[in-house]
């Protein structure tokens, strides 16, 4: 079976800096929850951003859902099917309230207000976050923000979820809840995490990055 998402010999460097992805290749198979590890600065976040078109590869190819993605128009379509939960929740949340933040994606996809609100309530229910519905987003705790970030991404109903260090700064209870939520979700996932116990609980396979390539 062909992979759901594949990077082939992808290169990328930030402007004016030495290249930080030096030929990354790996496959993400349908249904797997793939872990990605690597030292600080190894390029893990850069790679996730590249997978959704926020960084543009200088060479190599990105193949997903049976086709290649190259232009910004291509990536606009891809971002409807693959959702990134950022390392920093403050990069994800920008609306006054939790419900507005979660509704933003569906409204942007063209859902009417009533349908978007229905999605908001469904997602809040699945994540057991209904109590936060009308809270002011920027006043939430770090852990609450992380779960709301996940809710904003799930509201777009992606087929693939990318999560960048999702357990950072979570208390033990929230971390356990996140593990339970992720294990219960149907999406194919790529999870960047330094947290070994979290990886052991959630991932089905682990790859690592070193010197700008995937080494295993
Ligand atoms: N927006 C940026 N502009 C320039 N350099 C960046 C930027 N983001 C990350 N870098 C650099 O790219 C390299 C890889 O960073 P990053 O992908 O954040 O690593 P990781 O997520 O594995 O810790 C590091 O050297 C980092 O300093
Ligand atoms: Mg990072």
Residue among 10, 17, 38, 46 to mutate when testing ligand 1 (max atoms within 8 A of CB): 46
Listed as own residue / partner, the contacts of 64-70 with beta carbons closer than 8 Å and 24 or more positions apart are 64/4, 64/5, 64/6, 64/160, 65/4, 65/5, 65/159, 66/2
Q: Is the pTM of this model over 0.75?
A: yes
How does DSSP classify residue 109?
T
Taking CA atoms only, the protein residue closest to ligand 1 atom 24 is 41
Ligand 1 within 6 A of 43 CB?
A: yes
pLDDT in tens, the chain (216 residues): 789 999 999 999 999 999 999 999 999 999 999 999 999 999 999 999 999 999 999 999 999 999 999 999 999 999 999 999 999 999 999 999 999 999 999 999 999 999 999 999 999 999 999 999 999 999 999 999 999 999 999 999 999 999 999 999 899 999 999 999 999 999 999 999 999 999 999 999 999 999 999 997
């Amino acid at each position: 079976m062909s992979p759901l998402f594949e990077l082939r010999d992808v290169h990328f460097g930030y402007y004016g800096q030495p290249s930080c992805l030096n030929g990354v290749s790996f496959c993400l198979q349908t249904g797997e929850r793939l872990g990605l590890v690597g030292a600080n600065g190894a390029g893990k976040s850069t790679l996730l951003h590249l997978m959704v078109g926020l960084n543009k590869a200088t060479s190599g190819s990105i193949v997903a859902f049976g086709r290649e993605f190259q232009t910004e128009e291509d990536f606009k379509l891809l971002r409807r099917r693959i959702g990134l939960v950022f390392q920093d929740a403050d990069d994800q949340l920008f609306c006054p309230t939790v419900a507005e933040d979660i509704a933003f994606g569906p409204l942007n996809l063209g859902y009417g207000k009533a349908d978007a609100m229905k999605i908001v309530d469904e997602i809040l229910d699945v994540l057991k976050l209904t109590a936060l519905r009308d809270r002011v987003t920027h006043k939430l705790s770090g852990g609450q923000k992380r779960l709301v970030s996940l809710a904003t991404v799930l509201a777009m109903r992606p087929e693939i979820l990318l999560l960048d260090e999702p357990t950072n700064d979570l208390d033990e209870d929230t971390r356990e809840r996140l593990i339970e939520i992720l294990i219960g979700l149907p999406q194919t996932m790529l999870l960047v995490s330094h947290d070994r116990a979290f990886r052991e609980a959630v991932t089905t396979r682990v790859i690592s990055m070193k010197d700008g390539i995937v080494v295993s």
